[in-house]
Amino acid sequence: MAKRNLLKVPQHILDCISAYDQDDVVVACVKFLRPEDITHYSHLGMAIENSRLVLPDRSVPKPNAGRYSRANIEGYEKVRRDLPKVSKEFENEVPDWGNWSSGSHTVSWTREVYQRDFYPPKEVEMSVELLEEIDNGYSIKFAIEQVINRRTQEFEKELLYNLNILQENIGAVNVFKSVSSLAEYTATIHVDWQIFPPGTIDEVVQKIVSGKKGITTEQEKTITERVSSMSRLNPVAYVAGTDNFLRYFGAQFGDDLVCFENVRYGNALYVMHESWKELSKRSRIDLLRGDREQFTRIEHRDGWEVRIKKIVDEYRTVMKNRAK
């Protein structure tokens, strides 16, 4: 299965889109697979069991499929070598005498670096659908579940992104006219937030996972560990998305400081530096889009809890001084 990334949108794809009588399109392809071919797609959850085809629920492709699939979950940075370098201060929390239990201190330094653009994780899902069973085989549609509109400014960029996710996972690409409109799609990705006061760790965890689908024992354990870490910083409230599928949850420390986790792809925590009232109006994709200065991304490596504590302590000091 070819997985080489596309460097640009193939011309035949653009020609196909230009012939459409509507602007909304989806990246998808249809493949005819015989039973012996299904094992090549086991990474997607496809299988033959008791002579019957088993297909997976729609889900976010695994990050090990390729760099676009990884960016879909983790986001990515683009170095802007076309722009002048800027001075940037770096800092790192390191343990005293090589032992975190002995305490820690901050090491900082400044150097000239290229500016970078950060592209947030989109977490677009892929669906697998049986269209027809014929000639001892299966006609199967693989689709990226995001509607994109050809009249938007970044259409070709979004198109190439989704084509490469499909290419990495399926080894084939195509496009189709969308049955659902972009407006209908956008309505499904907006997050309504549930805000609830602090309680015991178990109480908070149960409120976060309540009504959510597919939460594994391991994910609930991760949520418990992260809530435990946040609780030590005494947040004013906890927040969680109210949709059935748990995306983001976190802790609120003030009107313009909220720390978000994603239990499904919890490689990093995002500290949002803007008004909670404005933040609550944005879709989950838009949460991390825009000016990089509006949020801080902290990977879950040694010392991450110390970094969060420092950010929260500094924020509270600023708020206290303003109140004087």
* pLDDT tens per residue, range 273-285: 877 666 666 655 6
- Whether residue 6 lies inside any domain: the answer is no
Whether pLDDT at 9 is above 80 = yes
Which span out of 26-40, 86-100, 116-130 was modeled with the highest average pLDDT? 26-40
Average pLDDT along the chain = 83
Lowest mean pLDDT among 9-23, 124-138, 173-187: 173-187
- Whether residue 151 lies inside any domain: the answer is yes
- Condensed to tens digits (0 to 9), the pLDDT of residues 130-162 reads 988 887 889 899 999 999 999 998 899 999 999
Please tell me whether residues 182 and 194 are part of one structural domain. Answer: no
Encode burial over 139-148: b for 16+ CB neighbours within 10 A, e otherwise: ebbbbbbbbb
Please tell me whether residues 242 and 318 are part of one structural domain. Answer: yes
- Condensed to tens digits (0 to 9), the pLDDT of residues 249-273 reads 889 998 888 888 876 665 778 888 8
> Nearest CA to 65 among 46, 41, 48, 30?
41
- Distance of alpha carbon 36 from the chain centroid: 34
Please tell me whether residues 96 and 169 are part of one structural domain. Answer: no
Please tell me whether residues 133 and 259 are part of one structural domain. Answer: no
Between 88 and 324, where is the model more confident?
A: 88
pTM exceeds 0.75, yes or no: no
Handedness of CA 78, 83, 85, 87 (dihedral sign): negative
Please tell me whether residues 144 and 172 are part of one structural domain. Answer: yes
Between 197 and 6, where is the model more confident?
A: 6
**Which pLDDT belongs to residue 266?**
58
- Whether residue 1 lies inside any domain: the answer is no
Please tell me whether residues 176 and 314 are part of one structural domain. Answer: no
Domain boundary (188, 211, 245) is at: 188
Whether pLDDT at 292 is above 60 = no
Mean pLDDT, residues 61-70: 92
Please tell me whether residues 63 and 180 are part of one structural domain. Answer: yes
Please tell me whether residues 273 and 166 are part of one structural domain. Answer: no
CA distance 133 to 114: 54
Q: What is the total count of domains within the chain?
A: 3
* SS3 call for 120: coil
Whether pLDDT at 1 is above 50 = no
Task: Give first-to-last CA distance, the chain, whole Å.
Answer: 65
- Whether residue 301 lies inside any domain: the answer is yes
What residue numbers bound the domain in which 150 lies? Answer: 11-75+123-188
> What percentage of the chain's residues is helix, strand, coil (to nearest 5)?
35, 30, 35
Q: What is the DSSP string of 89-116?
A: EEEEEEEGGG-GGG-EEEEEEEEEE-EE
Portion of the chain with pLDDT greater than 70, in percent: 86
Whether pLDDT at 246 is above 60 = no
**Which pLDDT belongs to residue 2?**
46
**Which pLDDT belongs to residue 94?**
80
Helix (H) or strand (E) holding 270: strand 268-272
Please tell me whether residues 18 and 111 are part of one structural domain. Answer: no
Q: Which two tokens stand for residue 321?
A: 């001084």
β-sheet bridge partners, residue 143: 28, 127
